[in-house]
């Protein structure tokens, strides 16, 4: 079998009636495709087709355990999270175990920094669940289920048909990320309540506790932000939040002193401070015709990339020496409609995007000196919704366990060291950008 530089897992929707939104592509007969990626040629080769779940909406790969986690997405039934072993030679996936997530329309999976717990976010009813992971990455019985606070409790559930125009009337959690320093502060963008929820997280028990809420953008009476995803800069104390509804990208200072100085039960004050906000679409494009899909800081830390669904583009922003956004490098067409998700390949030289409504996966080169994105090709995939690029490790190779695990632990240990902080005071005065 040909040796590929990495594997690309592409999940697809296979049951439209169970979704909170309405895709316009083709219903997939197989919900997961495994491709081999050749980084020298920039090409994908289909390896296998399989059904892993109903509407697998999110994939998460564990480097330490060589396991792929996938969650189902349904607004009618309780969803499940599944663990699959990945063959390092063929990319074939084998089911290890499945667990119910405790909620509906599961949309996000996080594995904590110690690989001790797996956390799931359910969008439809705003439930967040926690599961212990065993030494091999297997998922144990749910150890904690967090319901939305009383203020966001679902007292009157809206219908699927009314959801798009009324989704701000109740809580709809969309993601969960842990702070990059200690992994004990949890940020949950709540698209429905228009806030970033801050929670305390205890990795020993897997328990979560709401502490406060943070505005995901500027407060305007006629504007809904709809926070969707977050990412962190690799070397500056800066966080980025993508607002789906307002098509804006917000930049926050991370108050690292508060994160490091406090214990689990003590931190109740916001640890993010909004310092910048930029539009992801050109000023002339009607905002109501676009929603944002995904954001990612490129591996070099020089640029941040956002996908626009409607404008059907990548928006590429240059990052300054302080972590703030310096300028926009440009908008680049995704060569398809509704770019729901994208990811860099392990080399950082390519971007692979799932164009949900035109049934295609497109490949682009990325220049980390200029931020320019260039289309190289694509292929047919029905209703693709998620891209996961991995470079599996062979446990049977000599020193596999030791080298992989030791390197991963070293990476986590190094991430607890605070990055050198460049003063942001003058830049915040000179470069604050508002819509």
Question: pLDDT tens digits, residue range 239-291?
Answer: 999 999 999 999 999 998 888 875 545 568 899 999 999 999 999 999 999 99
Q: What is residue 148's predicted lDDT score, i.e. its pLDDT?
A: 87
Q: What is residue 396's predicted lDDT score, i.e. its pLDDT?
A: 55
- Least Cα distance to 122 among 151, 141, 99 occurs for 99
Residue 166 has pLDDT above 80, yes or no: no
162 beta partners:
none
Q: What is residue 165's predicted lDDT score, i.e. its pLDDT?
A: 56
Share of the chain above pLDDT 90, in %: 74
Q: What is the pLDDT of residues 48-68, one digit of tens each?
A: 999 888 999 999 999 888 999
Residue 412 has pLDDT above 70, yes or no: no
Q: What is residue 398's predicted lDDT score, i.e. its pLDDT?
A: 42
Q: Please give the mean pLDDT across all residues of the chain.
A: 87
Q: What is residue 221's predicted lDDT score, i.e. its pLDDT?
A: 55
User: pTM for the complete prediction?
Assistant: 0.89
Terminal Cα-to-Cα distance of the chain (whole angstroms): 53
Q: What is the pLDDT of residues 331-346, one digit of tens each?
A: 999 999 999 999 999 9
Per-residue pLDDT, averaged over 419-427, amounts to 44
Residue 420 has pLDDT above 50, yes or no: no
Three-state DSSP class for 396?
Answer: coil
Q: What is residue 416's predicted lDDT score, i.e. its pLDDT?
A: 41
Where residue 5 falls (left for φ over 0; alpha for ψ -120 to 50; beta otherwise) is alpha
Q: What is the pLDDT of residues 64-88, one digit of tens each?
A: 889 999 999 999 999 999 999 998 8
Looking from the CA of 27 toward its CB, the CA atoms found within 13 Å total: 9
Q: What is the pLDDT of residues 94-146, one digit of tens each?
A: 999 999 999 999 999 999 999 999 999 999 999 999 999 999 999 999 999 99
Q: What is the pLDDT of residues 294-333, one digit of tens each?
A: 999 999 999 999 999 999 999 999 999 999 999 899 999 9
Q: What is the pLDDT of residues 348-382, one digit of tens each?
A: 999 999 999 999 999 999 999 999 999 999 999 99
Residue 171 has pLDDT above 70, yes or no: yes
Q: Could you tell me if 250 and 272 are in contact, meaning their C-beta atoms sit under 8 angstroms apart?
A: no
Per-residue pLDDT, averaged over 7-18, amounts to 96
Q: What is residue 157's predicted lDDT score, i.e. its pLDDT?
A: 55
Q: What is residue 149's predicted lDDT score, i.e. its pLDDT?
A: 76
Q: What is residue 51's predicted lDDT score, i.e. its pLDDT?
A: 86
């Amino acid at each position: 079998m040909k040796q590929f530089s990495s594997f690309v897992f592409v999940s697809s929707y296979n049951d439209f009636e169970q979704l909170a939104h309405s895709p316009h592509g083709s219903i997939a007969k197989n919900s997961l495709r495994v491709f081999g990626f050749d980084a020298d040629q920039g090409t994908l080769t289909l390896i296998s087709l399989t059904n892993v779940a109903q509407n697998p909406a999110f994939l998460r790969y564990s480097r330490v355990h060589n396991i792929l986690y996938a969650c189902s997405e349904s607004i009618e039934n309780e969803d499940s999270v599944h663990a699959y072993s990945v063959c390092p030679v063929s990319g074939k996936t084998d089911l290890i175990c499945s667990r119910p997530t405790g909620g509906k329309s599961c949309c996000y999976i996080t594995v904590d920094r110690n690989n001790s717990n797996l956390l799931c976010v359910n969008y439809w009813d705003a439930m967040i669940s926690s599961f212990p992971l065993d030494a091999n990455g297997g998922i144990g019985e749910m150890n904690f289920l967090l319901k939305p606070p009383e203020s966001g409790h679902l007292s009157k559930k809206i219908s699927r048909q009314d959801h798009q125009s009324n989704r701000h009337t109740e809580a709809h959690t969309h993601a969960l990320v842990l702070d990059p320093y200690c992994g004990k502060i949890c940020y949950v963008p709540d698209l429905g309540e228009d806030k970033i929820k801050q929670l305390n997280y205890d990795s020993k028990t897997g328990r979560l506790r709401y502490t406060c809420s943070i505005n995901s953008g500027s407060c305007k009476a006629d504007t809904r932000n709809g926070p969707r995803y977050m990412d962190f800069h690799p070397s500056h104390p800066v966080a980025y939040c993508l607002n789906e509804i307002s098509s804006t990208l917000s930049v926050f200072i991370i108050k690292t002193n508060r994160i490091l100085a406090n214990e689990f039960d003590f931190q109740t004050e916001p640890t993010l401070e909004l310092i910048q906000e930029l539009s992801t679409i050109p000023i002339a494009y009607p905002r109501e015709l676009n929603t944002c899909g995904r954001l990612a800081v490129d591996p070099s830390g020089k640029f941040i990339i956002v996908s626009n669904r409607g404008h059907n583009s990548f928006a590429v922003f240059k990052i300054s020496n302080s972590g703030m956004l310096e300028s926009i490098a440009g908008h680049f067409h995704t060569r398809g409609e509704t770019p729901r998700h994208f990811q860099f390949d392990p080399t950082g030289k390519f971007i692979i995007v799932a164009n949900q409504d035109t049934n295609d996966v497109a490949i682009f080169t990325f220049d980390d000196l200029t931020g320019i994105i260039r289309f190289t090709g694509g292929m047919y995939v029905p209703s693709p919704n998620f891209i996961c690029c991995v470079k599996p490790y062979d446990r049977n190779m000599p020193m596999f366990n030791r080298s992989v695990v030791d390197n991963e632990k070293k990476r986590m240990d190094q991430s607890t060291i605070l990055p050198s902080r460049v003063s942001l005071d003058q830049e915040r005065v000179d470069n604050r950008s508002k819509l």
